[in-house]
Chain A
Amino acid sequence: MEDLYARRIWQLTVVLAVALSLVFGFVQGR
């Protein structure tokens, strides 16, 4: 059961890392 939660947390980590990086690129980049 715990491993299922761990997998979800890991997946959310990947999604957030990529999404936040792209958003920062849009906000800061030119």
Chain B
Amino acid sequence: MKSSLRATLWVVAYFALVFAPVLLLFPQPRPEGREFWREVSVALGFAGLSLMGLQFVPTARLPFLANVFPLDTLYSFHHRVSITSMLLILAHPLILFIYNPFTLRLLNLLDAPLRARAGTLALLGLIALVGTSVWRLRLRLSYESWRVAHNVLAIGIAALAMYHILNVDWHTSVPRQRIFWIAWAIIWGGMALFIRVIKPWMMLQRPWRVREVRPERGESWTVALEPDGHQGFRFLPGQVAWLTIRRSPFSIREHPFSLASSAMASDHIAFTIRELGDFTSTVGDIKPGERAYVDGPYGTFDLDQHTGPGYVFIAGGIGSAPIMSMLRTMADRGDDHAVIFFYGNRTWDSIIFREELDELQGRLNLKMVHVLEDPPEGWEGETGFVTRDMLDRHLPADRSERVYFICGPIPMIVSVERSLRALGVPLSRIFSEQYEMA
């Protein structure tokens, strides 16, 4: 099936699932009608909860979903929709309190009925879940402890919310509504079970061994892994995998990184990781021979699904990792398509893969455009950031035919996409991936 058709079907399924509980309210045999605002608040709560529960799906890393939509888009959608679900759910009690201030007594966690206490706790948990995600850095939560809390909170909130709506037992007293919610909750639980128990167990059966850890320019490290007792996996150049080192795959300590090695190398894979804090700053301590677990490959940011008569790569700093995978793969395949690589870095010395890129220019039809924020004295190349004028200077006449891959921080992606559009490049030829996605 064509990937655009699969994507459309998934979007239709998304809307059907999110709004099923609200739509089911219409034709079902209704309990006695209540006040307008009370019914509006219930419908908002239903839509919000259904939307919240749906968040278990994109984050379960289901291969058939993660390989239809770009991984960073799935996660940015997850972020945006989670905040929306919190607001919809929050509107449910707020409308009740405004319409009938007497219901404020339901907030009393000591005296209120259990179903109300469950609802209050679920809402507080949801606010904590969204708050710790949006302000994780400001709260100085490490990525690892945030992920553990995120998982525990998500499951706890879902359980409390289900207890709340099934025990309020008004609209959910109608069998079809009740059956829908129970089935939907079983799917949420199934997703949590898959990502936290089944998938780690599968990873445990397919361990990897660290073959090499080598320092790179720009405070980065390349970690090469080889499969330990199995065949490894094939990936498409540019894809992502989740890496766990020195921990059990059950420990919720995995990190997503782009595969940087050639997709043609079947005996090993490699990640290049920049020291940015938390786990990434300990990569240099990893020793050859250590055990690792890899979950992947994922994502649609890859060369093989988006072929064209020529390519333009635009990356900032460690955003070059998936681009290196593409270039190394092209070199191994003897691919002579024309490539221009705009590569932004702070200084000349911090250019990761600098020497290898020099060498690749001799093997590939590759033109490098280094862009330095802080150039050395006498530098005659490009400086600052990748701008529209800069792109215009270097892009060839067939610019609108080429396929563009952009990887870097969000402001860079937004700015470059805007410039490319202004230069007449169709949106359908531009693919991007953000650094920070999960």
* A interface residues (Cβ-Cβ under 8 A, vs B): 1-4, 6-7, 9-10, 12-14, 16-18, 20-22, 24-30
Contact = CB atoms under 8 A, between A and B. Distances in A.
Contact of B81 (A13, A16, A22): A13
B315 interface: no
B43 A24 contact: yes
A17 B37 contact: no
Contact of B77 (A10, A18, A22, A25): A10
B39 A16 contact: no
A3 B47 contact: no
Contacts of B15: 12-13, 16
A20 B430 CA distance: 36
Contacts, number: 85
B47 to A, nearest CB: 4
B84 A26 contact: no
A24 to B, nearest CB: 4
A28 B46 CA distance: 15
Given A24-B22, A29-B38, A1 B427 contact: yes
Top 4 nearest A-B pairs (CB, nearest first) are A29-B36, A25-B40, A21-B43, A17-B47
A1 B39 contact: no
Interface stretch (B26-34, B136-144, B387-395): B26-34
A25 B77 CA distance: 28
5 contacts: A1-B430, A9-B11, A27-B26, A29-B33, A29-B35
Interface string B33-61: 11111111101100110010000000000
Q: Which of B15, B47, B48, B431 is the most central at the interface, judged by chain A CB atoms within 10 Å of its CB?
A: B47
B14 interface: yes
B3 to A, nearest CB: 11
Interface residues of B, number: 38
Nearest to A27: B26
A14 to B, nearest CB: 6
Nearest to A8: B11
A6 B39 CA distance: 29
Nearest to B72: A3
Contacts of B18: 13, 17
Contacts of B48: 17
A25 B36 contact: yes
B80 A10 contact: yes
A27 B19 CA distance: 17
Contacts of B400: none
A7 to B, nearest CB: 8
Given A13-B18, A24-B39, A29 B34 contact: yes
A10 to B, nearest CB: 5
B269 to A, nearest CB: 25
A26 to B, nearest CB: 7
Nearest to B414: A3
Given A9-B11, A17-B47, A20-B47, A28 B33 contact: yes
B44 A17 contact: yes
A29 B40 contact: yes
Interface string B10-23: 01001100110011
Contacts of B84: 10, 13-14, 17
Contacts of A17: 18-19, 22, 44, 47-48, 51, 84, 88
Nearest to B31: A28
Nearest to A14: B84
B231 interface: no
Contacts of B77: 6, 9-10
